[in-house]
């Protein structure tokens, strides 16, 4: 538990870019009163269970998560692995197989081009703790124990419905401007070749919050597959980050072309328990105060 708690304290600071006040830490940056016990494992499940969920979600959850980084279960992987850093967009927060190029590691080791070493104004993490994170990334930053890469296994039932989940922004959520990308996750691997068929559309309401007024504004987007098995899609406005307005993202689940998995099964976009139907995400971007 000592290593898990130590990593948790640092990861919260490193990912948010926050300093922290050092409360509850000894002179070496270790949590006070913790007895030695189990060892943190270089798996995403171990990090999620021992770090993100119990510690980091106190800040890194919901629309106000610092730098848009949500670390609650079900969202954290999609927003870490292959996700560009907000501070240095040319670098990924976690680049599978390459810890030296991962912005998270650079911040922990104090080699990042921007800002100070994390945790800020606190003792550096012990080398063995950083090594746990490094090893997970070196292993390909998998989301399932024993996997060499990707987000999970591919042994899905042929009768399982293909579903999509809005990771960030969440459905009907109000988030602060600007919004740089929209992240959608599937429960299986999607057929990425279908993304060339213009089946993902984004519209701004035109300022009235209504999508049936006739003044809606199409927003051109680029779509990137961040991970497979299952798929994580990053939908990025082509011209500029999204500013204050209401938005509707629609992913086709029917004619003329439906988003589908590798077995050509269409998504259950409308969640009615049968394949087909559009996936619709509506959210609001609020003016930054």
Give me the average pLDDT of each 10-residue run along the chain (289 residues).
43 42 41 45 80 70 84 89 92 95 86 74 70 89 64 53 96 94 96 94 97 96 92 96 97 96 96 96 90
Structure tokens at 86: 């907000």
User: For residues 50 and 11, what is the distance between their CA atoms, to the nearest angstrom?
Assistant: 11
Domain boundaries, the chain: 2-138, 164-286
pLDDT of the residue at 283: 98
CATH architecture of 164-286: Sandwich (2.60)
pLDDT of the residue at 13: 42
pLDDT of the residue at 26: 39
Query: pTM for the complete prediction?
Result: 0.78
User: For residues 287 and 209, what is the distance between their CA atoms, to the nearest angstrom?
Assistant: 14
Q: Are 91 and 106 in contact (CB under 8 A)?
A: yes
CA-based end-to-end distance of the chain? 40
User: For residues 46 and 51, what is the distance between their CA atoms, to the nearest angstrom?
Assistant: 8
pLDDT of the residue at 279: 98
Nearest to 124 by CA among 107, 137, 112, 99: 107
DSSP code per residue over 256-267: S---BBTT-PBB
HEC sequence for 64-132: CCHHHCCCCCCCHHHHHECCECCCCCCCECECCCCHHHEHHHHHHHCCCCCCCCCCCCCCCCCHHHHHH
Residue 90 vs residues 6, 21, 278: alpha-carbon distances, Å: 29, 30, 33
User: For residues 254 and 20, what is the distance between their CA atoms, to the nearest angstrom?
Assistant: 49
Nearest to 190 by CA among 224, 148, 217: 224
Residue 65 vs residues 15, 145, 169: alpha-carbon distances, Å: 10, 27, 11
pLDDT of the residue at 45: 85
Q: Are 134 and 36 in contact (CB under 8 A)?
A: no
Residue 269 vs residues 11, 164, 174, 243, 252: alpha-carbon distances, Å: 35, 7, 22, 26, 8
User: For residues 173 and 70, what is the distance between their CA atoms, to the nearest angstrom?
Assistant: 14
């Amino acid at each position: 538990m000592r290593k898990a708690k130590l990593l948790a304290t640092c990861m919260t600071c490193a990912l948010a870019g926050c300093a922290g006040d050092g409360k509850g830490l000894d002179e070496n940056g270790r949590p006070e009163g913790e007895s030695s016990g189990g060892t943190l494992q270089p798996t995403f499940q171990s990090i999620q269970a021992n770090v993100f969920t119990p510690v980091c979600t106190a800040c890194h959850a919901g629309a106000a998560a610092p730098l848009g980084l949500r670390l609650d279960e079900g969202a954290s992987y999609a927003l870490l692995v292959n996700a560009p850093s907000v501070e240095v967009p040319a670098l990924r927060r976690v680049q599978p197989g390459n810890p030296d190029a991962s912005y998270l590691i650079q911040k922990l080791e104090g080699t990042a081009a921007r800002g100070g070493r994390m945790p800020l104004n606190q003792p550096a993490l012990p080398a063995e703790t950083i090594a746990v994170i490094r090893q997970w990334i070196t292993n390909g930053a998998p989301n399932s124990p024993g996997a060499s890469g990707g987000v999970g296994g591919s042994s899905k039932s042929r009768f399982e419905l293909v579903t999509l989940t809005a990771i960030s922004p969440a459905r009907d959520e109000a988030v602060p401007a600007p919004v740089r990308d929209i992240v959608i996750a599937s429960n299986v691997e999607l057929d990425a070749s279908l993304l060339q068929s213009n089946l993902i559309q984004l519209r701004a309401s035109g300022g009235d919050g209504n999508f049936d007024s006739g003044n809606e504004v199409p927003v051109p987007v680029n779509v990137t597959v961040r991970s497979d098995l299952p798929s994580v899609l990053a939908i990025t406005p082509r011209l500029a980050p999204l500013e204050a307005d209401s938005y509707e993202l629609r992913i086709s689940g029917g004619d003329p072309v439906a988003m589908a998995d590798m077995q050509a099964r269409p998504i259950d976009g409308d969640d009615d328990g049968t394949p087909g139907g559009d996936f619709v995400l509506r959210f609001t971007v609020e003016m930054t105060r």
